[in-house]
Structure 1
Amino acid sequence: MAKVKPFEEFAERYELWFEKHYYTYLSELNAVRKAVPEGKGIEIGAGSGRFAAPLKIKYGVEPSLKMAKIARKRGVYILRGTAEYLPVKSCTFDFALFVTTICFVDDIKKSFEEAFRILKPEGKIITGFIDKNSPLGIFYQQNKDKNPFYRYAEFFSTEEVVEFLKRAGFKNFKFFQTVFDLPDRIDKVQTVKNGYGEGSFVVVSAEK
């Protein structure tokens, strides 16, 4: 089962995080924006539309009813479903976006295989996540029991994500990174750098 419970119970708290950590959010958004190509896109695990809406991604897949309701108010057309079983025809989209989604899926391998299926030839997958070996990734893992969301999460390293993507058939990798401090300490938009290994938030782009 998709890890929907905390997003149903704490939807308001989820939204407040983005207000409280606004500059962290904008930094992550900028990193994702660098990787998102032109064309018809879909966000998988769209949540409340915090990324899809400003990136002008019209479609999303989301299992949480409360998250889907908020995303629809932001103008995102939401399909109910999970990353492992996308309610989408094969070879439909130019790109598929995952943002802090992979740590909540039940099967990352199946999720990436499904993304591969729905992408057109040479379509791109963009995956944004907190690297488990980064300062923020370590902090979240050490404090999992204190957070209603991350207690359900499974974190991955960038190397692990790349390996799963390769197994699903993806190639031609590009990397971007940002968030170089803990969110409570960030008081301005942070830079986005190429590569990975410094920033806690990593965006991996790959091609079908």
Structure 2
Amino acid sequence: MIKYFDENSIKYDNWYESHRKEYGDQVEFIGGRLPSGMGVEIGVGTGRFASKLGIKVGVDVSEKMLSIASKRGIFPIMASADHLPFISGYFDFSIFIVTICFLDDPVSSLREARRVSRTVISVLIEAGTEYSMKLQREKKGFYAFARFYTEDEVVGMYEKAGMKVLKSEFSDLYSDGMRYRLRYIEGS
């Protein structure tokens, strides 16, 4: 998976250029809920979201993606989500933006995010919508590596990671004419 993301980092980044409305809707939805303070985006990719949301530190496993993120003013850290190179409690919040679906062990990653921050946020494309089912069925591109989850499944992951969910909100958005649910889950 890392090799695929490295080899397709520009293609990934360009997707946002050809889907400006969807990207803008996502940034608006997330930005309206984000807590204040110093945050880290785990699975920062090319820094598209972090740069718009005022998040200055980004973690990813893809060197090429981090290179693009750094050009957007993000301080890049190459590390995996389940082994973060930060002292405990360093950040006010950590956020996974459409990242949980790509992780081998989401519970360990959530637990590690909780170790380095007071609040842990997950933004996901929720399972069960027309769009997520299409992506799951086709198994093409970046989403060939994804596993989508329901709200209940992610809440269960938070509980297994020793956290309590404080907030869960959603917005129904559209991509390529198909509805999908963008879910925001915040826990501590």
Shorter-chain TM band: over 0.9
Superposition pairs of residues 1-208 of structure 1, within 5 angstroms: 3-119=1-117, 123-144=118-139, 147-181=140-174, 183-185=175-177, 199-206=180-187, 208=188
Deviation readout 1:21-65 (Å, 9 max, x if unpaired): 111111111121122111111000100001111111111111101
3-state DSSP of counterpart to 2:185? strand
8 Å CA contact retained: 1:28, 1:179: no
TM-score, normalised relative to structure 1 = 0.85
8 Å CA contact retained: 1:32, 1:203: yes
| Paired residues, number | 188
Separation (CA, whole Å) in 1 of partners of 2:19 and 2:65: 19
Amino acid at match of 1:55: L
Shift of residue 172, structure 1, vs aligned partner: 4.2
Q: What's the Cα RMSD here?
A: 1.5
Unaligned runs of 5+ in 1: 187-197
Which structure has more relative contact order (CA 8 Å, sep 6+)? It is: 1
8 Å CA contact retained: 2:25, 2:173: no
Shift of residue 94, structure 1, vs aligned partner: 0.4
Shift of residue 199, structure 1, vs aligned partner: 4.8
Amino acid at match of 1:79: I
Unaligned runs of 5+ in 2: none
TM-score, normalised relative to structure 2 = 0.94
3-state DSSP of counterpart to 1:54? helix
Separation (CA, whole Å) in 2 of partners of 1:202 and 1:11: 25
Identity %: 35
Separation (CA, whole Å) in 1 of partners of 2:70 and 2:154: 29
- Kindly tell me: are residues 9 and 65 of structure 1, through their superposed partners in 2, closer, same or farther at Cα, counting changes over 3 Å? same
Amino acid at match of 1:160: E
8 Å CA contact retained: 1:7, 1:67: yes
